[in-house]
Amino acid sequence: MDYLKLRLLKDLPCFTSKDLSYLFKLKPESALVQLSRYVKKGIFIRLKKDLYILRERWDSNHATDFYKIANILQVPSYISLTTALSFYEVTTQVQIKYFESVCQKRTARYEIEGAIFNFYKIKPDLYFDFVKIPQGDFFIATKEKAFLDALYLYSFGKYTFDIDSIDFSKLDLKRIKKLIKVFPERTQATFRKLCKT
């Protein structure tokens, strides 16, 4: 397989053996052999079972490219918590190669080439209020929902949350008070205590 042809994969955030088979007209078995070979050579990075990325693409990714990868690593999911708050510049905390998402299926952690992708499971009735960012083609919580997701997990001892890092002037507190009504009483009490409302 010509490396110049492999560069066609650079436009894809990630790909599967089926994608490789289709693009290069390979039999499925041959595609799996090629994938294994190129992972060993360091040309491809394996993200999880049958999900890969061209190393050249990985090395040139921006934070929002990793957000899209996070969305693909676990479906459905959306970027939230401190990662989203940092995206909106609501927190002074800066996360480098550390990406947090909220999901419905299972809590999980992926460590890939020095990057960490954390997924936190929440109840289905709390899985709402996220948007798709067209420029990066990824799903992310609104800033108010990202704050509430963090507060919710924190209130149950499942997340470390630095409330002092939050710039409340960048949040719509009226909207937060409206959204928090569907959260458990423990989360609401934590909000009243921490935010003195």
Closest to 6 in 3D by CA, of 26, 17, 20 = 20
- Find out whether 149 and 122 touch, Cβ atoms under 8 Å: yes
Domain encompassing residue 176: 62-195
Pair (143, 69) in one structural domain: yes
Pair (87, 123) in one structural domain: yes
Per-position pLDDT tens, the chain of length 197:
566 677 778 788 899 999 999 888 889 899 999 999 999 999 999 999 999 999 999 999 999 999 999 999 999 999 999 999 999 999 998 888 999 999 999 999 999 999 999 999 999 999 999 999 988 899 999 999 999 999 999 999 999 998 999 999 999 999 999 999 999 999 999 999 887 65
Q: Is 32 exposed, middle or buried (0-12, 13-18, 19+ CB in 10 A)?
A: middle
Q: Which of 16, 41, 59 is the last residue before a domain boundary?
A: 59
Pair (71, 103) in one structural domain: yes
* Sequence-distant contacts of 5-11: CB under 8 A, at least 24 apart: 6/38, 6/43, 6/54, 7/54, 7/56, 9/54, 9/57, 10/54, 10/56, 10/57
- Strands 98-103, 115-121: pairing is parallel
Pair (51, 140) in one structural domain: no
As a whole number of Å, the end-to-end CA separation of the chain is 63
pLDDT at 23: 85
For residue 25, CA distances in Å to 28, 109, 166 come to: 9, 34, 51
Pair (171, 92) in one structural domain: yes
- Read off the pLDDT of residues 25-45 as tens digits, 9 standing for 90 and up: 889 899 999 999 999 999 999
Pair (107, 130) in one structural domain: yes
Place of tokens 């992310």: 140
pLDDT at 6: 74
- What CATH number is associated with residue 13? 1.10.10
Pair (102, 179) in one structural domain: yes
pLDDT at 4: 66
Place of tokens 């948007």: 131
pLDDT at 136: 84
Tokens of 20: 């490789």
Using CA atoms, how far apart are residues 42 and 53, in angstroms rounded to an integer? 11
Beta strands in the chain (DSSP E): 44-48, 51-54, 77-79, 98-103, 108-112, 115-121, 130-133, 138-141
Q: Which of 59, 85, 100 is the last residue before a domain boundary?
A: 59
Pair (55, 128) in one structural domain: no
Closest to 108 in 3D by CA, of 48, 57, 150 = 48
Torsion angle of the four alpha carbons 20, 22, 27, 31, in this order, in degrees rounded to the nearest 10: 0
Using CA atoms, how far apart are residues 10 and 45, in angstroms rounded to an integer? 12
Pair (89, 182) in one structural domain: yes
Q: How many domains does the chain have?
A: 2
Pair (55, 23) in one structural domain: yes
Pair (67, 54) in one structural domain: no
Q: Which of 59, 80, 99 is the last residue before a domain boundary?
A: 59
Pair (54, 148) in one structural domain: no
pLDDT at 78: 98
